[in-house]
Amino acid sequence: MLKYRRIYELDDELYDFHLRQKQYYLLEGTVPTKEYIIEQMDNPEGFDEKDHYIKKIYYNEKMVALIDYQIGYRFSMKHDNSCLWIGLFLVDESWQRKGIGKEIMEFMIDEYKETCSTVQLACIK
């Protein structure tokens, strides 16, 4: 069973997690410095931080994924309280292709099905 823990700031465990995601950062063309990660953790400008969530996801006490999402944000930068925007979703490279990503997405959809009719997921082109 996966466990979710909301966080508010960068810690060593989260930083180490980002450093292990080599393929993601190659695609993004970015080096995951502490400063870069902290900047990316900010909620979108003009949006309430109470609706911004960053959660570490654990399996057997091991951090296996990270999800960063905002309720009420739409890619077009419009406020839309029925939209759930997932700005970052990373499953640790060593845990990919094991059904964890699917389980997390199903959990998110189920968790917000009463309040959000639209889910948008950011991606790297």
In tens, the pLDDT along 62-93 reads: 999 999 999 987 777 677 788 899 999 999 99
pLDDT band at 50 (very low <50, low <70, confident <90, very high): confident
Residue 56, beta-bridge partner list: 5, 66
- The two structure tokens encoding residue 18: 């980002």
Q: How far apart are CA 51 and CA 8, in angstroms?
A: 12
Mean pLDDT of all residues belonging to the chain: 92
Domain of residue 76, CATH code: 3.40.630.30
Range of the domain at 48: 2-121
Domains in the chain, number: 1
pTM of model > 0.85: yes
